[in-house]
Structure 1
């Protein structure tokens, strides 16, 4: 970001730029809600709830963007790497090395010292040669030894110092480094801190502590707590997590390793008092936070040894990775992207992963706040009318593209039939054939040019975005019944989503470009029903047999009867012969294969519909010869026709047929 300053003698400002470190990149592109909406809608149309569809999209991620599953996989890899790279014997290895160096230095000194009594030398050499194989037992045996070598004495003191710093590092991260080279006064100060900390925790357990007690403690010892807790509860939470991790680390060791460390710990700083204080601290923390995992263990199997403090940190990392895995899984009730600890993602997986997680959280927030998703009365998430319009517009554009590809030229029918001008204008869209509103178009161009150029120009450039067209009234009105097969075979054969996409494209065309027309959406499975577009979009497939075209035609006839002055259009999308019909008492009759009575009822009802003048087209899905013969016979009977589009072309086929019927009354397009 720039830092500006005024140059001497003038008003010119100079700026220096550096890396932006104040949070999310302000120049980063916004999240792509259109892509997310398309993906979510596809899942919704396949039968998922919008809530689940949103969760699935966030798990998969978008184009070129990691999803939660990708991050969870990296978490699992990180966890596996920690376990396979490390082992818990680092401290024992370091002690063994220091012990070997001390013994070697002592033996060398004994061999060089010519003033020493031979018996004394022989006794000492025998003592060095017969030390126990156990590092703990050897250190314990040598704790009172009178070292002759200064170097050996220093090495042995380093063992005590290392043990002290390691056991403290188990409970206080970073203490191993902080106490390196510490004096006796420093160690005494640590013991005093532990005494005061245990006193504070004891008071807290009894409910007698105050915020002033905590403030006094932090004023004296705050340097040992870089997390900067604000109260005693935060202090306890951080320390208890570390202490529980230390216990799980010990649980993860072999029985021999634990025994060695327990015996060695008594030598920490050369005084058992430290372990007494640490034991009291662990007891206090365990009693205050029994809910933490104090009994778990991990299976470290690598070659790189870790000291006690680093091993405890590794166990803490494993616990944090487990929490991240649960957060990223989003499998619990009420899961939300805001639950994910972005700081933990950054610590464990790095900056890039943190940015990915933050982007996904921003996308979920934007989807919920943009108006594309809304909460229904029952608390569930639904696609909003705004989302339905955006989806319909996209799907209609796809249908228009396919229509254009069919004819080899721009399909102008999507503009609507020209009629009387309404007096209004609107921005030009692809496919429009209405006349330009010249005044509005030139005004738009002038305003845009004036805004873009500092100096006025005598020339006016008209761009596509400037163009507005005159709105016109349509000269005909149609009542369109779209009957869509919702039997289970539509879902099993991959026709469920294309069917819904088709209905949504046609609905958008009618509701935005031919507002005088009426559209009925009728789904038919074992029974038929009138459905709104949002109901059809969210309709899940039901494992139920039956294709009740008879009931659907009955509802279509009722729809046409309500709009007697409109031209009736009947569009039927199906992948199977009728196997059910509605009885006089309202019950459903089902039989497979097609029963003669079902066939008779269906044909009779189709005749009733077409006697109202309905122009009919069947859209046959699949290659069933029986269905092909049946639909061809129905089409011949009522003067309709049958088309067999590919699934990708179904939307264009239905939209094109609607437009063909709409225009056939005044012959604007030759469809021969």
Structure 2
């Protein structure tokens, strides 16, 4: 029998995890847009906080910053100096112990030489370079010190070199020198345009054990070496001036003894010239209790540099930022596979929002598509109904023939301007009955205008709907901006989807009034202008009603302030506070025109202001409409229900 083992899946994102609900994500994004955020900012905020219980960029950023803090507290940067001083003191102590029992003048002379050693570790090491040790233990300690310096210094330039030089044999050091010379020769050939991939492959075949990250080409090798060299330089910059001078001196001695001074200088210059964009001059604060060797300290600073770049990419706070800027391999190294999976999910969500036709544009400029706007309108309507359930709207039919509704089964000749569906069968039958005219091709029917017939439908009363929404700055201050936009989108969605025979117009007004197209409603941004020009809004609404004079007029006004602006004869708006008599009189004149059109004005009052209440009461008295003081959190419900009530009465 076959045997099976079951365990946690760790080879990528869970293949059984449900995908993102893209429509739900769009609704969440849309709510931010409704509150005034631009689509690009709303998308970035969505990706930052995550959605549907999954991590966003902020959570990854938090993990990166926690990792940086742990690294900073992992040790101090002067560990190599500390170790070198300890080995030097041990060697000197062992030598003194060997000399103390010897009564000879040579022993006293040697003790005097040891007494005169400078306090600076590098200077002391240089002084002892040619000293003939009497103590074999001291000799081994000093050799250990020099081996430590070779391995740590080279490890700070080539990751993993410390392990590669564990034995520290002359043959190992000779091979290191050959590798550096071959690397310099390869870089110089590349500068002349003579380098090939085959050259690189031969180099890696011989020296690949020095490069555990296994670069695939010269570019990757240069990037790896330059990043480490920059980290080593930042490590030196982060030491005190005294520590830096002492360590530099030790490095110089060590490279000179190994015969690598000139080759390493050439390599360092080549790396700097190829990657001047790296942080060669920065510093880092390391506050751990234990000292770190140069190699480990360089590795820590290299990782800190990578985390700093990852922090910037995850923050997405720069122009043109995008998820593609985030290095997936850097995320994997810093945070592990689960973080990579979280990033992949976010990229999938952004891609689906585009591929499904909800977002379009570039990194710097993004907008909602008409499809997305329709979805947000449907969502706004659904949320409006959820706040206050009402009966499902009916269709209010009459027996008259009209332009919309159910088919009656009858047809009539087409007249110019008819919008009823074409009766194809009767139209073709008319052409066939008329017969072929001379010159008509055989087997074909030629249609004329008088052949067309349209199918008659039940007539449904049509309404001309005007929603006038106050967009003055006070609506922003009272936190009504998003509510007003949601109300407008909900009403527009209701009318266009359930009463397609109606003509709806949304008008926004502050200092001036303007018609708001449905695709611009969601992305409408507030304007820091003064003025509540209801007169201009009523003027535009009146034109809409006049264009549909045979429709039932429905006018709804949402405002939080009395009129403070009006149009002069030259078309310029005038703002005054307190409102002038001219503003009030001209606005009421438009109210009277609405009354003569038979349009009742229902005003939704969003503020407790005695002057505003006095004005709207006068509007209601002159016009016969209603004044409604809604709960602002349920404004959309009040407006939509008021429209449905009036629509039913009209039907």
TM-score (norm 1): 0.82
Quick check: 1:315 aligned with 2:301? yes
Quick check: 1:79 aligned with 2:58? no
SS in structure 1 opposite 2:260? Answer: helix
Tell me how far apart the structure 2 counterparts of residues 577 and 301 of structure 1 sit (CA, whole Å). Answer: 63
SS in structure 2 opposite 1:20? Answer: coil
Give 1:645 deviation, angstroms.
0.8
Cα distance change on mapping 1:260 and 1:341 into 2, 3 Å: same
Instruction: Specify which of 546, 566, 574 is matched with residue 581 of structure 1.
Output: 566
Instruction: Specify which of 14, 23, 44 is matched with residue 33 of structure 2.
Output: 44
Give 1:327 deviation, angstroms.
1.3
Give 1:261 deviation, angstroms.
1.7
User: What corresponds to 1:241 in structure 2?
Assistant: 227
Quick check: 1:510 aligned with 2:495? yes
Unaligned runs of 5+ in 2: 400-404, 408-456
Instruction: Specify which of 460, 481, 492 is matched with residue 477 of structure 2.
Output: 492
1:490-639 to structure 2, matched below 5 A, reads: 490-639=475-624
SS in structure 2 opposite 1:304? Answer: coil
Tell me how far apart the structure 2 counterparts of residues 542 and 153 of structure 1 sit (CA, whole Å). Answer: 81
User: What corresponds to 1:145 in structure 2?
Assistant: 131
Instruction: Encode CA deviations 1:479-510: one digit per residue, 9 max, x unaligned.
Output: 11111111121122211110000011111111
1:218-257 to structure 2, matched below 5 A, reads: 218-257=204-243
* Worse-superposed segment, 640-649 or 294-303: 294-303
Instruction: Specify which of 101, 118, 121 is matched with residue 90 of structure 2.
Output: 101
Cα distance change on mapping 1:54 and 1:165 into 2, 3 Å: same
Unaligned runs of 5+ in 1: 1-6, 8-12, 405-410, 424-471, 667-672
Give the conservation status (yes or no) of the 8 Å contact 2:164–2:210.
Answer: no
Give 1:473 deviation, angstroms.
7.2
Cα distance change on mapping 1:290 and 1:340 into 2, 3 Å: closer
* Worse-superposed segment, 383-392 or 289-298: 289-298
* Worse-superposed segment, 127-136 or 478-487: 127-136
Tell me how far apart the structure 2 counterparts of residues 632 and 474 of structure 1 sit (CA, whole Å). Answer: 37
Tell me how far apart the structure 2 counterparts of residues 22 and 418 of structure 1 sit (CA, whole Å). Answer: 61
Give 1:417 deviation, angstroms.
4.5
* Worse-superposed segment, 138-147 or 101-110: 101-110
Cα distance change on mapping 1:84 and 1:566 into 2, 3 Å: same
Tell me how far apart the structure 2 counterparts of residues 269 and 598 of structure 1 sit (CA, whole Å). Answer: 87
Give the conservation status (yes or no) of the 8 Å contact 1:266–1:272.
Answer: no
1:188-587 to structure 2, matched below 5 A, reads: 188-268=174-254, 271-375=257-361, 380-404=365-389, 411-414=390-393, 416-417=395-396, 422=406, 475-587=460-572
* Worse-superposed segment, 609-618 or 86-95: 609-618
Give 1:273 deviation, angstroms.
0.7
Give 1:66 deviation, angstroms.
4.1
Instruction: Encode CA deviations 1:158-196: one digit per residue, 9 max, x unaligned.
Output: 111111111111111111122212432222211211122
Tell me how far apart the structure 2 counterparts of residues 655 and 150 of structure 1 sit (CA, whole Å). Answer: 97
Instruction: Specify which of 55, 58, 70 is matched with residue 47 of structure 2.
Output: 58
Cα distance change on mapping 1:661 and 1:287 into 2, 3 Å: closer
SS in structure 2 opposite 1:147? Answer: coil
User: What corresponds to 1:68 in structure 2?
Assistant: 57
Instruction: Encode CA deviations 1:197-253: one digit per residue, 9 max, x unaligned.
Output: 122223333434333332221221122122332322222222122212212221222
Instruction: Specify which of 176, 199, 214 is matched with residue 162 of structure 2.
Output: 176
Report how many residues are paired: 598
Give 1:15 deviation, angstroms.
4.3
Instruction: Encode CA deviations 1:503-544: one digit per residue, 9 max, x unaligned.
Output: 111111111122222211111111111111222222211111
User: What corresponds to 1:427 in structure 2?
Assistant: none
Give the conservation status (yes or no) of the 8 Å contact 2:173–2:258.
Answer: no
Tell me how far apart the structure 1 counterparts of residues 396 and 377 of structure 2 sit (CA, whole Å). Answer: 20
SS in structure 2 opposite 1:573? Answer: strand
Instruction: Specify which of 16, 24, 27 is matched with residue 16 of structure 2.
Output: 27
Tell me how far apart the structure 1 counterparts of residues 12 and 460 of structure 2 sit (CA, whole Å). Answer: 58
Tell me how far apart the structure 2 counterparts of residues 488 and 258 of structure 1 sit (CA, whole Å). Answer: 60
SS in structure 1 opposite 2:504? Answer: strand
User: What corresponds to 2:450 in structure 1?
Assistant: none
Give 1:337 deviation, angstroms.
0.8
Tell me how far apart the structure 1 counterparts of residues 596 and 25 of structure 2 sit (CA, whole Å). Answer: 46
SS in structure 1 opposite 2:392? Answer: helix
Tell me how far apart the structure 2 counterparts of residues 66 and 473 of structure 1 sit (CA, whole Å). Answer: 54
Give 1:353 deviation, angstroms.
3.9
Tell me how far apart the structure 2 counterparts of residues 94 and 147 of structure 1 sit (CA, whole Å). Answer: 20
SS in structure 2 opposite 1:546? Answer: coil
Cα distance change on mapping 1:380 and 1:258 into 2, 3 Å: closer
Give 1:140 deviation, angstroms.
2.2
User: What corresponds to 1:187 in structure 2?
Assistant: 173
Tell me how far apart the structure 1 counterparts of residues 216 and 74 of structure 2 sit (CA, whole Å). Answer: 36
Instruction: Encode CA deviations 1:16-57: one digit per residue, 9 max, x unaligned.
Output: 444434332222332243443233223322333212221233
User: What corresponds to 1:437 in structure 2?
Assistant: none
Tell me how far apart the structure 1 counterparts of residues 275 and 256 of structure 2 sit (CA, whole Å). Answer: 31
Tell me how far apart the structure 2 counterparts of residues 473 and 309 of structure 1 sit (CA, whole Å). Answer: 86
Tell me how far apart the structure 2 counterparts of residues 474 and 500 of structure 1 sit (CA, whole Å). Answer: 32
User: What corresponds to 2:435 in structure 1?
Assistant: none
Tell me how far apart the structure 1 counterparts of residues 590 and 115 of structure 2 sit (CA, whole Å). Answer: 107
- Output the aligned Cα RMSD: 2.8
TM-score (norm 2): 0.85
Instruction: Encode CA deviations 1:609-628: one digit per residue, 9 max, x unaligned.
Output: 12222232100011111111
SS in structure 2 opposite 1:412? Answer: coil
